[in-house]
Structure 1
Amino acid sequence: MKKRVAELFAGVGGFHVGLDALNTGWSFVYANQWEPGKKNQYAFDCYAKHFSGTEILSNEDINTVDKTQIPDFDLLVGGFPCQDYSVAHSGAKGIEGKKGVLWWDIRDTIQEKLPPFVLLENVDRLLSSPGKKQRGRDFGMILYTLNQLGYGAQWRVINAADYGFPQKRRRVFIFAYRKSTNYFKSLSEASNLKLALINYSVYNEALPIKQSLTMEKETSLDNYLDIVDFSDTFSFHFENTGIMHGTDVFTAKYEANYSGPFTVLNDIVLDEVNDETLIVEDKPEKLEKFKYLKGSKKEIRTTPAGYSYNYSEGGMSFPDLLDRPGRTILTSEHSINRSTHVIRDKTSGKLRLLTPLECERMQTFPDNWTEGMPKSARYFTMGNALVCGLVTKIGKGIDKIISMEPKEITKDTVKTAPIYH
């Protein structure tokens, strides 16, 4: 079959870089990237610099894009924001939460184009959102709508450092596939969903797991009056991996089964950095603030309303240890906060922040991928990006699945669900 890719919420092209690294014939035909409220579209400009001429590039709000005008494709990819996906009862039946509509734009694209395969990435808290009151509703809504469109799905929360990458970054990857695919049919032959997940998961090809699972549980997406009823009443504790087949859902907790090689910060940081703006050692006020933010605390704090409460948190390594993977890069990297990396320069011995190039390496982009944009934008785009190497590893599983598919997969008839936006 053809291997055409469309990318939504493309950022600076992490999915593109990851699939290109396979060199197995993936061809990107469309990409959309839009940063709301930003005059300068640095991420889109970076994407266009590297990939212009090879696909149709869209720099507009995805909510305004006519989905019928997107070229046909075989794999939809995207890292979409985690928001509130509940369905409102009144008015225009909108989604509660400003950016909740973004999932529905993915859904609308799938409904219009019906690609055989979908690969999405999100923060791991999506599985428990919106919290204690209705835990798991938002992720359940995604599974519910995928099933309505005629898809099965698998998910896995993957910590990149567990598989040798230089960053402790936990993200959930969702792989969906049409019921008309050979892959879906092969999963139907498994005696139960647990065995299907252990033996035939797309992730296992290059991201092996231990055969023993824990915290096993099941649920069903049946017996709901409609999507509004589902939104109002569904609650379930999803574990870090699972599968939806038809309306049946199985989930469990897994552990990685990887023996190396492992990459640590020492492998990716530069030998010497001469950028004075990154030096912390010679700036006493900044240094003391970092020491306080990263240190352990037991103190009385006061809310804006004037209420006092006891606050405590544990300390963290300061500076960051070079013989371990880095922590999760955030969009705030480079600012003075608890999550910002501070390392000791290999040559000068001075405490300093990471360079943009080192952040690119932590996300496994090619060196200087974001060069040309302001330094703050380079940190921001890397904080929003994904670990390209993980896409490459998942792509190996998708390649294997596609090799078993016919040259042409016809669009099957699916149940049409109402569109909310």
Structure 2
Amino acid sequence: MTTKELQSRHFREILAKESLGMRKTFTALSLFSGAGGMDIGVMQAGFEILACIEIDPYACETLRANIVRDKRTTKVIEKDIREVDPSLLIVELGLQAGELDLLYGGPPCQTFSQIGKRHSINDERGLLLFEMVRFAEVFRPKAILIEQVKGLLNAQDQQNKPGGVFKQLVAQLETLGYCSKWKLLNAADYGVPQLRQRLFIVSTMPPNHFQFPTPTHGPVTKATPLFALAPYVTVGEALQGLGTPCEKQNGCIPEDSHLDVTPQGDRRWIYGVPEGSHLAKQTHLPPEQRRNLSRKDTTKFKRLSRSEPSNTLRCGEIFFFIQQKIVISHHESTCDYTATLTITCYVVRSVVVLVEFDF
């Protein structure tokens, strides 16, 4: 019997035991956890997250605070993932190979992003993608979920071959016995108020029965009587009911509230930009206000439209949103950064539809 046949037999035996009611809950291991956005979707899908691995100390502080608040027992490993030994971790978590239900993560995407320099795996951050394979080799999870930017599909390998990195990833997972499926999904198609297109890879032991979810929403212009979809959820709907920004209390932001941290300079630059447009396009405004922006700067100092989904939210980039406008006094208040994060919360919850595996 070949190694692949033995692996398949091992997994079938585990699944047979679970079908007899010998398990309590699905288990998951989170890699590249960040502040826990993807974790929210995984938990909403019914998984218990055994551990999170993340290097950023502030993100880990957020993870721990949420774990305490939710009264969970998830272990937070604040460490460079390359320094974590999965063979020791699997023992620490009390698991054997093949018992973990889901291994998931969104490895760093900067080196594959179409808006970056695209150094691919010539940048050490690009090589972190293959940490998913290293952990899968030890844990042998029933399913693997990887989220990445679509630029991974044509990222160059060591021989500068477009798409080579993606092929290497799929091939290495196949060597472990996994069959992979992948698809580009737009978060707005599933009720998220943001146009966010990302690549999702789902790997299981063959045969891979996973089916990507059918879109539930779409642009109004593409709606048809025969295949009617709900219209995209808009920025205005997502932020409806957002109250007035609060003040810090004893240096802390109160629960269930938001803080306005918009710099005064940004308030000046964004003034006069209508909804759905950006500063560089406003040629009627003084040159000193438009600064050195060119026609290509379509996302810098952009004001979102309340009647459309948000543009893709990226780290280090802030979109503005009109809260109120009193025409008589020309007073204008813009949405703060935390309100932008409110949209992000909706984004991570879309992961729920992606991890409903049928074991």
Q: Structure 2 residue aligned with 1:50, among 51, 61, 66?
A: 66
How far 1:351 sits from its partner (Å)?
4.8
- Aligned residues, how many? 277
Contact 2:143 2:205 (C-alpha < 8 Å) held by counterparts: yes
How far 1:15 sits from its partner (Å)?
2.5
Contact 1:272 1:346 (C-alpha < 8 Å) held by counterparts: no
In structure 2, the CA distance between the partners of 1:320 and 1:292, relative to structure 1 (3 Å rule), is closer
Contact 1:19 1:395 (C-alpha < 8 Å) held by counterparts: yes
Distance in 2 between residues matched to 1:134 and 1:67, nearest whole Å: 31
Q: Is 1:350 the equivalent of 2:337?
A: no
How far 1:142 sits from its partner (Å)?
0.9
Q: Structure 1 residue aligned with 2:350, among 355, 376, 390?
A: 390
Q: Is 1:112 the equivalent of 2:138?
A: yes
How far 1:151 sits from its partner (Å)?
0.5
How far 1:163 sits from its partner (Å)?
2.1
Pairing 1:260-409 to 2, within 5 Å after superposition: 260=230, 262-269=232-239, 270=242, 272-273=244-245, 277-278=261-262, 283-284=267-268, 287=271, 293-295=279-281, 313=296, 319-333=303-317, 340-346=318-324, 350-356=332-338, 358-364=339-345, 387-396=347-356, 398=357, 401-402=358-359
Structure 2 unaligned regions, length at least 5: 1-17, 113-120, 219-226, 247-258, 284-293
In structure 2, the CA distance between the partners of 1:282 and 1:8, relative to structure 1 (3 Å rule), is closer
In structure 2, the CA distance between the partners of 1:289 and 1:324, relative to structure 1 (3 Å rule), is closer
Corresponding letter in the other structure for 1:34: I
Contact 1:272 1:347 (C-alpha < 8 Å) held by counterparts: no
How far 1:345 sits from its partner (Å)?
1.5
How far 1:60 sits from its partner (Å)?
0.6
Give the match for residue 33 of structure 2.
Answer: 10
Corresponding letter in the other structure for 2:355: G
Counterpart secondary structure, 1:278: coil
Q: Structure 2 residue aligned with 1:70, among 85, 89, 95?
A: 89
How far 1:277 sits from its partner (Å)?
4.3
In structure 2, the CA distance between the partners of 1:276 and 1:140, relative to structure 1 (3 Å rule), is closer
Deviation per residue, 1:165-190 (Å, 9 max, x gap): 111111111100023xxxx1xx5xxx
Range that drifts further, 135-144 or 257-266: 257-266
Distance in 2 between residues matched to 1:9 and 1:15, nearest whole Å: 10
Contact 2:324 2:333 (C-alpha < 8 Å) held by counterparts: no
Distance in 2 between residues matched to 1:112 and 1:282, nearest whole Å: 49
Distance in 1 between residues matched to 2:141 and 2:27, nearest whole Å: 10
Distance in 2 between residues matched to 1:209 and 1:268, nearest whole Å: 15
Q: Is 1:173 the equivalent of 2:200?
A: yes
How far 1:130 sits from its partner (Å)?
2.9
Pairing 1:77-92 to 2, within 5 Å after superposition: 77-82=104-109
Structure 1 unaligned regions, length at least 5: 36-40, 86-94, 188-199, 211-256, 298-310, 334-339, 366-386, 403-421
Distance in 2 between residues matched to 1:81 and 1:167, nearest whole Å: 20
Q: Structure 2 residue aligned with 1:31, among 52, 58, 70?
A: 52
Corresponding letter in the other structure for 1:364: C
In structure 2, the CA distance between the partners of 1:276 and 1:161, relative to structure 1 (3 Å rule), is closer
Contact 2:260 2:336 (C-alpha < 8 Å) held by counterparts: no
| Aligned residues with identical type, % of pairs | 21
Distance in 1 between residues matched to 2:350 and 2:267, nearest whole Å: 37
Corresponding letter in the other structure for 1:101: L
Distance in 1 between residues matched to 2:267 and 2:217, nearest whole Å: 46
Contact 1:280 1:351 (C-alpha < 8 Å) held by counterparts: no
Distance in 2 between residues matched to 1:286 and 1:209, nearest whole Å: 31
Distance in 2 between residues matched to 1:331 and 1:178, nearest whole Å: 35
Corresponding letter in the other structure for 2:29: A
Distance in 1 between residues matched to 2:304 and 2:217, nearest whole Å: 29
Deviation per residue, 1:77-125 (Å, 9 max, x gap): 101113669xxxxxxxxx6322233123221111111111101111111
In structure 2, the CA distance between the partners of 1:138 and 1:288, relative to structure 1 (3 Å rule), is farther
Distance in 1 between residues matched to 2:266 and 2:176, nearest whole Å: 58
Bigger RCO (CA 8 Å, 6+ sep): 1
Pairing 1:228-243 to 2, within 5 Å after superposition: none
Counterpart secondary structure, 2:230: coil
Distance in 1 between residues matched to 2:272 and 2:231, nearest whole Å: 36
Give the match for residue 202 of structure 1.
Answer: 211
Give the TM-score taking structure 1 as reference length.
0.58
Distance in 1 between residues matched to 2:278 and 2:75, nearest whole Å: 48
Give the match for residue 228 of structure 1.
Answer: none
Corresponding letter in the other structure for 1:295: K
